[in-house]
Amino acid sequence: MSGVNPDFSPRITRRHFLVGAGATAAGLALYSGEISRHELDLVPRTLAISNLPNAFNGFRIAQISDIHLDEFTEPFFLERVVHHVNALAADMVVLTGDFVTHGSLTFLNGRSAAYHCAEILSTLTCPLRFACLGNHDVAVSSSLVTHALTSKGIPVLVDEHVPIERNGSRFWLAGVNDPGTTNPRLELAVPPQPDGPVILMAHEPDYADTVRKHPRGQLVDVMLSGHTHGGQIRLPFLGPLVLPPMGKIYAEGLFRLGNMQLYVNRGIGAVGIPFRLNCPPEITIFTLQSAQG
């Protein structure tokens, strides 16, 4: 006669459950805090632009966003990011805001973090390097972050534009002041009669809806943003747990908004908590192509 001895039946006690849950939580925290937060994702994208001059077919732009040195992005991780970007040998690098973190609790204050960040970014080998400001940069000090970057050869576009020229043709790179904390002057950022495409850097992606309603916004072909961190923690079937103001409509990736394309980079840093889950840090590499028709 066979049977199961009840003394040896597997039982899940409250203690076992709590121990298992604690171990699972600890493992998840370790993964999201130390592994996932440092898993760089290189994202290739093609941007088809209708009025792109032939000289810029195949022109490559690398985008880095939301560095947040030194809380919680370690200098060694930013150095690794720069190494990967240099290996891409892009024609231009754009940096779309939040170089520092407002209210950082780490040993580096805002001033030290801004200059340390700029020092590491100065090792980018691409000669065409441009930045715009994010909400954390403005909260710490616009002038401080701007000076840190420009002193290391990285121009910051604040409601202004510059021509990017090749073989007698050009497109325009524009940048606005941070839309989340200031009142950008899009009429100054975008040239009135551009003789080529316009690519706009604006930190907060939901500003795209304001751009589309602005008379000068009709001239913008591509807008590049960051700010959202892609949600930073994305749960299966639920998506991002939290999205910031002015980053709730367009969370990550490529959007086609009428005649304008919007790309939202997930950034490389973290804010609030030093975790990323199902949302790895991102370096984007765009290849420009002339759109047909």
For the stretch 243-253, pLDDT in tens is 999 999 999 99
What's the structural domain count of the chain? 1
CATH number of the domain bearing residue 55: 3.60.21.10
Asked if the structure places residue 1 within a domain, the reply is: no
Domain that holds residue 164: 13-290
Asked if the structure places residue 169 within a domain, the reply is: yes
**Pairwise CA distance, residues 73 & 19, whole Å:** 31
**Pairwise CA distance, residues 204 & 98, whole Å:** 10
**The model's pTM:** 0.88
Asked if the structure places residue 108 within a domain, the reply is: yes
Q: So what's the pLDDT on residue 106?
A: 59
- For 286, counting Cβ atoms within 10 Å of its Cβ (0-12 exposed, 13-18 middle, 19+ buried), the class is buried
- For 34, counting Cβ atoms within 10 Å of its Cβ (0-12 exposed, 13-18 middle, 19+ buried), the class is exposed
For the stretch 172-190, pLDDT in tens is 999 999 999 999 999 999 9
- Helix or strand or coil: residue 13? coil
Identify the DSSP state of 69: B
Mean pLDDT, the chain cut into blocks of 10 residues (293 residues total):
44 42 36 66 97 97 97 94 98 98 70 94 98 97 97 98 97 98 98 97 98 97 98 92 96 97 97 92 98 72
Q: So what's the pLDDT on residue 16?
A: 35
Asked if the structure places residue 164 within a domain, the reply is: yes
Asked if the structure places residue 267 within a domain, the reply is: yes
Asked if the structure places residue 3 within a domain, the reply is: no
Contact 251, 228 (CB under 8 A): yes
Asked if the structure places residue 5 within a domain, the reply is: no
Asked if the structure places residue 176 within a domain, the reply is: yes
